[in-house]
A and B are shown apart, each in its own frame.
Chain A
């Protein structure tokens, strides 16, 4: 755990870390303001944003900001999130994953199958949330679509937001579950034991050629 300073393996640079937390904070604000308008029991959350009209006004702008911020983050981590054969093998052994039996799993690159699955879930949900969000953005766009599209856009936006929120809950839990992960996104480095245990192929890659990343 307490790796010597020299042994620390860098995982995320400062720019990526800052980018991630901008995305994370924006997502939390969007979820709070969005669910405030989704369920009456949560309408009180609009008080966090200065009341109902302010929540309605701010939410779509925050959404655009999130899309822009995620675009930068998604492009940065995207090249390491393409599915390979071993990711499918990893996903098939899901039972071993949740039982912490990592000795039964194939070697993992920079990201495992679950992380890649999450990545594509986020990309897909955000893309569709952005498009459906434009449809229901009354101030600028809603007048230009038919009422049928408006209704489907409203339904889709709510559905996708729930899917994305569940995915983010899983993401947050995974970070709490696999100890040593959060530090990668706060301080930027991981211990060699962490990298060896959870991302062995990546560990060998970066230790063999430290300049690579």
Chain B
């Protein structure tokens, strides 16, 4: 596929704008995951495996339902199961489909040092282009959600692509296609936000006063959103961050420090040059040799 038809609006480690004449004028996309409808069947995990031809190593039981135990180069999405005892003393099973959130302001893309290894399409999808990946793992440091994984097979970074290949030809992501309860839906971000509001109203009428949409503003919003029954406590859902943002350390590392550092080195060299021209070299001549000889005779 020609790169132009991918409508890439942002590339990692690229200082000038990417070709961005073509925009997503019919709206950016979003996947909405309704945790209140999820039954934890893992069909989404299987669909992801099938569509992307991924087969993770067979693991071992770690004593909970999460299987595999963590995301990996071969597992790009994962149901995380949390048992929560609510104030009424009832057990709530909070199941969250974990994976890339496709941030509008992606920390991985900001941290990546390899030009074009991480791109963002006009429709909002953040995608890794593994042929440009150098395997440094800076995306892991940049991500506020702990998503990218370096494959042990090829030392490349992998994560959910939001099925960018399917979306590009008008299909919904594989996980959406497979979900039997309609907990995962896909469409424009606008439509998904609206749909979420309907779901939240419904949940509130059923006693979940704190139901809400998880579309964190700290990363400019995300193209994967959650409907949470306890939107006031996202951490209940296996540590979903309350206010994710690109870490100030990553911003400092990847922001002003880049031009400042090169300027500091250039300025040091320039100072040396100016000193050489202005003051000149420090030389020794015959008189110093003579002085050295006399000094030697004086000392015992």
Contacts and interface: CB of A to CB of B under 8 A. Distances in A.
Interface stretch (A10-18, A51-59, A123-131): A51-59
A203 B138 CA distance: 51
Interface of B: 13-15, 111, 113-115, 132, 134-138, 140-141, 146, 150, 155, 247, 249-250, 252-253, 257-258, 261-262, 264-265, 268-269, 272, 275-276, 279-293, 295-296, 299-300
B134 A53 contact: yes
Contacts of B279: 98-100
Contacts of A40: 13-15, 113, 115, 258
Contacts of B115: 40, 43
Interface residues of A, number: 56
A169 B253 CA distance: 22
> In terms of DSSP, what is the predominant structure of the interface of chain A?
helix
A39 B259 CA distance: 8
Given A38-B113, A99-B279, A138-B137, A155 B252 contact: yes
Nearest to A162: B261
Interface of A: 1, 3, 37-41, 43, 46, 51-53, 55-57, 98-100, 102, 136, 138-139, 142, 147-148, 150-152, 154-155, 158-159, 162, 165-166, 169-170, 173, 176-180, 191-198, 200, 203-204, 207-208
Given A41-B15, A194-B288, A177 B281 contact: yes
> In terms of DSSP, what is the predominant structure of the interface of chain B?
helix
A41 B261 CA distance: 13
A56 B135 contact: yes
Contacts of A170: 268, 272
Nearest to B258: A39
A154 B141 contact: yes
Contact of B249 (A39, A53, A151): A151
11 contacts: A39-B262, A40-B13, A155-B252, A158-B261, A169-B265, A192-B296, A193-B287, A194-B284, A200-B295, A203-B292, A208-B300
